Amino acid sequence: MKKKKLKSVLHGLFFLLITSCPVNWCMASVHLNKTIIYFDNNGKINDEIAVINQGDETLYLRIEPSIVSAAGLPQESKATYRDPQAAGLLVTPQRMVLAPGEKKRIQLVRLDNIKNTQIEKVFRILVKPEVGEVKSSLTGMKILVAYDVLVLFQPEQPKPVLAAEFKRNEIIIFNHGNTNVLLKSGYQCPASQSIDQPENQCVALKGKRLYAGNQWRTSIRYKTPVHYNIAVGSENSAIVFSADLPVKP
């Protein structure tokens, strides 16, 4: 599995480092209460992430925000920044020390003018434990778990525009809008069957976050309509894709 795909599924990065531990292995156990943050168009400009040290060692964390360009596309790139005002997102603090069992918060503030936002902005925040000083003569494996938090800025007038194309045994779904759409749970049933019927032969379909300007293809079994539950920000709905009919939100 490609690294980018792994991140999109887990929204986290995992690091294995060989270092000194008092036992054969040890784990820097940091927990975040959320890994996806959505600033929609309702005027929200503040949010926070609770960070908890669930281990028995003091944790030293580095917190590094980046802005993502061409999210979800082959040319996707990520760049850290020093000017929060220009980037549009203020993240504080940049470093954090957590004693065992301690809980602190990362603060996020949206700084851009939503009226000037024509297309959704995508950020990532890396929350990464840093390796401390070696205090043992025994060598083992230390597992450092880092999180890559996804932050989304919805434009003032979000317009999710989905379309689909059926090709042989697959469906290609396009997002021609200006905001991401989360394709949650999908299914497809044989002709003359429905998902509500007992002992049906309907098949579950994979989900995907489809950023603005993205397209995605997945395998299908039948030549029948494809149903998906979708989310745009905090709003949930259902959509039907058919080879013979226009999209039905």
Q: How confident is the model at residue 19 (pLDDT cuts 50, 70, 90)?
A: very low
Give residue 62's pLDDT: 96
Spatial contact of 147 and 11, defined as CB atoms under 8 Å apart: yes
Give residue 15's pLDDT: 43
pLDDT in tens, 130-187: 875 545 555 555 667 789 999 999 999 999 999 999 998 999 999 999 999 999 999 9
Q: Is the pLDDT of residue 34 over 70?
A: yes
Q: How far apart are CA 3 and CA 37, in angstroms?
A: 21
In order of their start, the domains of the chain are: 3-153 (2.60.40.10), 162-241 (2.60.40.3970)
Is pLDDT larger for residue 233 or for residue 11? 233
Q: Is the pLDDT of residue 5 over 50?
A: no
* CA distances, 171 to each of 122, 152, 165, 183, 190 (Å): 26, 27, 6, 13, 15
Spatial contact of 60 and 79, defined as CB atoms under 8 Å apart: no
SS3 247: coil
Q: How far apart are CA 154 and CA 183, in angstroms?
A: 17
pLDDT > 90: percent of the chain: 70
pTM for the predicted model, two decimal places? 0.82
Neighbours of 233 (CB within 10 A): 19
pLDDT in tens, 88-144: 999 999 999 999 999 999 999 999 998 888 999 999 999 999 875 545 555 555 667
Give residue 3's pLDDT: 47
Q: How confident is the model at residue 204 (pLDDT cuts 50, 70, 90)?
A: very high
Q: What value does the mean pLDDT take over residues 210-239?
A: 95
Tokens at residue 8, please?
């999109």
Tokens at residue 112, please?
């851009």
Is pLDDT larger for residue 189 or for residue 20? 189
